[in-house]
Structure 1
């Protein structure tokens, strides 16, 4: 598990691991990763009939521990009047957002859900990084299966976010693009997937 306060040498190792995974991407994987949040932004716009802030907020509120295809379906259902498929607390957050609350006042903005919202709302955001379990494992350099990554720790989340931002600065792309590309490379390598995953199969599991 990644420590809450890694040493400088450990931080540099995380950055090297992230960059190495990014550089293993094929042209197709790069294209899919770089466009992922733009496509999610379009989905948020469509499902909310132009209220991208609400669309992105509801998607993020209903994202924890949900594969993307299910996350997408229950978010669409929410805007169609059927709020279901998640815990009571997260359903309440989605309801508040659809009622007009600012997602930034409803979601934990310094953690995964808030950063996921930011990435969808503004795919050009130069700071936001959605750290899920796969992003953790990419930085660590080893898969951890179903083990708890401790991503509820704000210090650990911040350390990982910084590693992705540092890697992005070296690579000359956005942190969210580094995260999305490395997710594609990492998960396809683990699963031995040869078919082309689409947006519907992208997961932001914690």
Structure 2
């Protein structure tokens, strides 16, 4: 009799595990900056979590990362994996709830992971321009795969490398014929005067020396926002 009970218990446990492993986490990642987004994908892949990215805008009422789940689809292991992942991105905690903002359930086998919309000033932009140096107007594109590319309308070729971002510090890394070099920048939020009046801007100011053979590394980098941001 005990053997039968044990076998039934084992079968029930296996069914639960199968159900949990097939659960899919829908990740609403529009609130993340590039560095967080890149790190998130690496962590989810490493943990073996079944996920699907959703580019729709995150729910603005969530002030912390929030996991919405179907009753019975969430187990302690998955919760721990997602909590650790969220905290590795710099968030304090992961909130968990059964209902979403419209008090609707997720269907069985589906969970929603929502990241709060952050201040746009704190997010790393896609595009920066060099300022405060002998080579202004260098265009620096920051790509989601962790690479950057710099172009100048006066020069046909481009320069590229890797970037790292740990707010408010941005680091650009370049490996060239003289070996690897890197420059660190610190973000400063302020206003600048334009032909259209004062605009909010973020300037990434050089922290290291300004005597690099790579001209870009001797410049501050800046983005000016088209609209006024609170």
Q: TM-score, normalised by structure 1?
A: 0.26
Question: Looking at CA atoms only, which structure, 1 or 2, has the larger radius of gyration?
Answer: 2
Which has the larger share of strand? 2
Asked which structure has the greater RCO (Cα within 8 Å, sep 6+), the reply is: 1
Q: TM-score, normalised by structure 2?
A: 0.24
Which has the larger share of helix? 1
